[in-house]
Amino acid sequence: MDRPSWAPDDIDLDKPTAARAYDYLLGGAHNFAADREMIRAAMSFMPDLALQAQANRAFLRRAVQYLVDVGVRQFLDIGSGIPTRGNVHEIAQRAAPDARVVYVDIDPVAVSHGRHFLAGNPHTYVLQEDVRNPTDIVKHPDVTDLLDFERPIGLLMVALLHVVPDADDPYGIVAHLRDELSPGSHIVIGHGTHDSRPEEVAKLTAISRQTPTAMSTRTREDVVRFFDGFELVDPGVVWAPLWRPDSPEDVPEDPGRSGNYVGVGRLG
């Protein structure tokens, strides 16, 4: 297969990754046959997987709009994924053209395409880094050039922490990042769970082991713990479609099928 320009030389096109599989689910074009095959296998027992991804993405959009509305003008989006429609900088810079956004992802395609996509946007930066190295993110000179940690920052970790297993101390990572933030900052979390569909999610988790970032879903109680030290913004930790929907008509009959708990916390 010809290697497209956005696929760095050192990546294995035959091994799926979460970023490219998610891109496929959202209708993007930055994925390979291996990613699509993995998603098709998952859809054989979870046919509404694309709806789950869309519900997660719609939450991200509403949460960023909320942060813009309360005056946040700087964003650190970790596990940002391959740029698609409704990216954080598009939402934030529509309201405030000088809003600053740093995108961080471990996936080389997400970073390579992100840099290409954002060329010419001086208020954005794309960093290739692992969330498990939080100091390398917050102390990176290009990050501190763009973001002022003495002022409020919107820290986004949407559909990210469920690929960080307990052995890698996800709670310690979030606490570390929280301690770098100043009052008025917010954290936005979306997190996959097995609470509503345990059998299907067990199969999905098994399939995710084909990627370098296998899933470790958690319960609602576990997800609430990530907000330690933050005040939860109303309505708290809820199923993705239930977090401040644009219209009651957007809420499906069974919001638990979205498979993701979400929430926004404010640092007092």
Which residues lie near ligand SAM (CB under 6 A)?
Answer: 18-19, 22, 56-57, 60, 78-81, 105-107, 110, 130-132, 158-160, 163, 190, 213
CB of 199 to ligand SAM, least distance (A): 21
How far is it, in rounded angstroms, from Cα 179 to Cα 228? 11
* CB closer to ligand SAM, 169 vs 182: 169
Residue 104, φ and ψ in degrees, nearest 5: -130, 130
CB of 79 to ligand SAM, least distance (A): 3
* CB closer to ligand SAM, 29 vs 182: 29
CB of 221 to ligand SAM, least distance (A): 22
CB of 76 to ligand SAM, least distance (A): 12
Two structure tokens written together for 20: 């490219």
Residue 158, φ and ψ in degrees, nearest 5: -105, 125
CB of 268 to ligand SAM, least distance (A): 25
CB of 171 to ligand SAM, least distance (A): 15
Side chain identity at residue 208, one-letter code = S
Choose among 159, 168, 170: nearest CA to 193. Answer: 159
CB of 200 to ligand SAM, least distance (A): 17
Q: Is 71 left (phi over 0), alpha (psi -120 to 50) or beta?
A: left
Q: What angle do CA 203, 208, 209 make, to 5 degrees?
A: 105
* CB closer to ligand SAM, 167 vs 268: 167
* CB closer to ligand SAM, 156 vs 248: 156
Side chain identity at residue 180, one-letter code = E
Measured at CB, which residue is nearest to ligand SAM? 81
CB contact at 8 A, 147 and 102:
yes
DSSP structure string for 148-201: -TTS--EEEEES-GGGS-GGG-HHHHHHHHHHHSPTT-EEEEEEE-SSS-HHHH
CB contact at 8 A, 58 and 83:
no
CB of 18 to ligand SAM, least distance (A): 4
Angle, in degrees to the nearest 10, between helices 108-118 and 18-25: 60
* CB closer to ligand SAM, 178 vs 268: 178
* CB closer to ligand SAM, 78 vs 92: 78
* CB closer to ligand SAM, 132 vs 151: 132
CB contact at 8 A, 35 and 210:
no
* CB closer to ligand SAM, 79 vs 259: 79
